[in-house]
Chain A
Amino acid sequence: MSGPAPFAVRETDFSGSPTPTLEARGLVREFAGFPAVDGVDFQLDAGRLLAVFGPNGAGKTTLLRILAGGLRPTRGQVLLDGNTVDVGDREWRRRIGVVSHQGFLYGRLTVAENLEFYGRLFGLSDLAERVPERLAAVGLEDRSRSVVRTLSRGMRQRLALARALLHDPEVVLLDEPYTGLDAHAAAILRDVLASLKDGRRTVVLVTHNLGQGLELADRVAIQVAGRFRWIDDRDRVEASTFEAFYRDVVEERA
């Protein structure tokens, strides 16, 4: 582990800057003795987007689940504005949004009911205005009373996006959001991602799609076998040569 000695604070103090800096220190997560994440360090300034690339099985999803507070790291810690966040920290969950290839939706509830349910669990009080507004943003305003099971795949994916961002999280974690999207949903996702870059949100995007990741990133990391083998600012890499560079890093030639 590098960096200053970790200090653990039970109660996270969120009174600092409105947009948090996100930091990982020596994150390790083992499954039955096998390290899926094996010592990840990074520091992400407020309002910036980190794209994490890597081949399958590199531990990207595990890393994201640790950052989301859903998985306890075996060692190391996640810090927000310099304060350690604990697994099960409820205030942390309020400030974070997760988009994954799963939609986290209830197929038997309607579009609006899904958003209302999650909205209530997040303790939101303005659902009457917020839900229609968010549905309009993803082009589902006329489907609010449809049962989710009857929606097309693309519509469900758009709804999943609206669900993940319903509570206006300041930290957004995206796990392979482009997987299986149809053209329309991908376009909306690109818009939504671009709108996330409003300087008020700190974003981590995990993907193996180099082009789409580079388009938005401020910082870029390549994760192989549980470690960040390379991490740098976006301006330091050339988009045209990045693919070759990525392959070199993954195959340990760089």
Chain B
Amino acid sequence: MSQDRLRQTGVALAVLGTLGALLVLWMVFFWVPTERTMGIAQRIFYVHVPSAWIAFFAFGIVALCSAVYLWLKDERLDMAALAAAEGGMVFCTIMILTGPLWARVSWGTWWTWEPRLVLTLLLWFIYFSYFLVRNATENPEQGKRFAAVVGIIGVLDIPLIHISVTWMRSLHPEPVVLKPEGPSLDPEMLITLMVGLATATMLFLGLFLMRYTVECLKREVDQRQTGAQAAQGA
């Protein structure tokens, strides 16, 4: 696909995602019934869970593109990894911000050592170091490789982190254990959640494609600028 097509697809998906977000908001506030035990605060669930799904999904893309980038050294893979990381970071941040809001109301505390919460926080920091190393080198090629290494190690370590934080909870059970979601979910809740998931996915893919094309343009500009400087200097 050409760059223009990518950009158009990205914009279309982002617009769809934005419309979807309005729909989700309407469903969350006016349509879906209130959950019995967790009360009104549970409605944030329809934003929180899709964000979580995207944050981990995006990190999968980052790791995959990074691994293939180290192998093939194709710039496009690095740009895709970068775009996915930025999108993932946005949703990871949403997840971290909405989590404590929910926890404050239903568990009575801003922060608990609930494993998924901890895992998310660590994921956020792995994303953070991904950007940190990328910009901390004199030679940008090296920064790209470093970031790729961080992405790969991050995705390898995440299962272990998940196991360890989950295992920790079994030692110290939380006073409030999450109700298992899924099959017991009310159909209207399930529909809302699905619409939320679809919306988040579209928004992410839209952002991803737009960010990707912006990065393409940015690198072209950089290249032309250094080219012009070299021509002047010679």
A and B are interacting partners: yes
Measured CB to CB, the residues of A under 8 A from B are 31-35, 72, 225
What 0/1 pattern do residues 214 to 234 of B give for CB contact below 8 A with A? 000001001100110110001
Is there a chain A Cβ closer than 8 Å to B39's Cβ?
A: no
What 0/1 pattern do residues 129 to 156 of B give for CB contact below 8 A with A? 0000000000111000000000000000
- In the complex, what distance in Å separates the CA atom of A32 from the CA atom of B144? 12
Q: Which 6 pairs across A and B sit closest by C-beta, in order of nearness? A: A33-B223, A34-B226, A33-B226, A32-B140, A225-B234, A33-B222
A34 touches B230 (CB 8 A): yes
B139 touches A35 (CB 8 A): no
B-side interface residues, number (CB < 8 Å): 12
A32 touches B222 (CB 8 A): yes
- In the complex, what distance in Å separates the CA atom of A35 from the CA atom of B234? 12
Residues of B within 8 A of A72 (CB): 73
Report the minimum CB–CB distance from B142 to chain A (whole Å). 10
- In the complex, what distance in Å separates the CA atom of A231 from the CA atom of B230? 23
Residues of B within 8 A of A35 (CB): 230
Report the minimum CB–CB distance from A125 to chain B (whole Å). 35
- In the complex, what distance in Å separates the CA atom of A34 from the CA atom of B140? 12
- In the complex, what distance in Å separates the CA atom of A33 from the CA atom of B226? 6
B226 touches A32 (CB 8 A): yes
- In the complex, what distance in Å separates the CA atom of A72 from the CA atom of B223? 19
Nearest A residue (CB) for B222: A33
Q: Which of A33, A34, A72, A225 has the most CB of B within 10 A?
A: A33
- In the complex, what distance in Å separates the CA atom of A186 from the CA atom of B77? 49
What 0/1 pattern do residues 110 to 142 of B give for CB contact below 8 A with A? 000000000000000000000000000001110
Instruction: Determine which of B73, B139, B234 lies in contact with A31 in the assembled complex, contact meaning CB atoms within 8 Å.
Output: B139
Given contacts A32-B140, A32-B222, A32-B226, 15 further A-B contacts (CB under 8 A): A31-B139, A31-B141, A32-B139, A32-B141, A33-B219, A33-B222, A33-B223, A33-B226, A33-B227, A34-B227, A34-B229, A34-B230, A35-B230, A72-B73, A225-B234
Report the minimum CB–CB distance from A170 to chain B (whole Å). 29
Report the minimum CB–CB distance from B2 to chain A (whole Å). 22
Residues of A within 8 A of B219 (CB): 33
Q: Which of A34, A35, A72, A225 has the most CB of B within 10 A?
A: A34
Report the minimum CB–CB distance from B143 to chain A (whole Å). 10
Nearest A residue (CB) for B227: A33
Residues of A within 8 A of B139 (CB): 31-32
Residues of B within 8 A of A33 (CB): 219, 222-223, 226-227
Q: Give chain B interface residues in 179-234, CB to chain A under 8 Å.
A: 219, 222-223, 226-227, 229-230, 234
Report the minimum CB–CB distance from B76 to chain A (whole Å). 16
Nearest B residue (CB) for A34: B226
